[in-house]
Amino acid sequence: MEEVISISVVCPACQGLNGAGSFFCYSCGHYLAEEPIRSDTVLEEAVESAAQGAAARMIMPKGGEIVLTDNPRFIQRSDFEGKLSQDALMSISRQHLLVTHENGSFFVQDHGRDGTGSTNHTRVNNVDIHHKGRQAIKDGDRIELARQPEATIIFRSS
């Protein structure tokens, strides 16, 4: 009997697991088209690495959530599909918000496609953080994407 090996692409930016035909990382949005396809051993290491990630989550509109196990992690347009109107959805950038974890603290940065900031900005607790770099966040902070109140997520640590 032949051994079947599942193949995936491991994102070099966040170690997220992606299907072999993926052009972008599902976790962070990194362009993958030129990345090598990896086999079982590398995948097991990536899964183990993700399991050791920080335990926090973003509560989405209408009750969904994003568990923050990858570091860094982008909050992006695709995270809101089916939760917002098409107009509101299209105002969110593909890589809108970068969430990082360091020394027990979480940080967010209004990111955008090239790291210089999203087109429609991000607000943390009603303060615009566009072009302000990395900002510390704490449990209960409200993060509004793209000037869309219905695209407000709540950070929960634990």
pLDDT in tens, 68-88: 887 888 899 988 988 899 999
Say whether pTM exceeds 0.75.
no
* Chain CA centroid to CA 42, Å: 21
Judgement on whether residues 100 and 148 belong to the same structural domain of the protein = yes
Residue numbers of the domain that contains 110: 56-157
- Three-state DSSP class for residue 76: coil
Beta carbons of 47 and 17 less than 8 angstroms apart: yes
pLDDT in tens, 19-39: 766 777 777 777 776 555 444
Q: How many domains does the chain have?
A: 2
Judgement on whether residues 84 and 18 belong to the same structural domain of the protein = no
Beta carbons of 99 and 108 less than 8 angstroms apart: yes
Judgement on whether residues 74 and 134 belong to the same structural domain of the protein = yes
Domain harbouring 123, CATH code:
2.60.200.20
Q: Is residue 146 part of a domain?
A: yes
Judgement on whether residues 75 and 145 belong to the same structural domain of the protein = yes
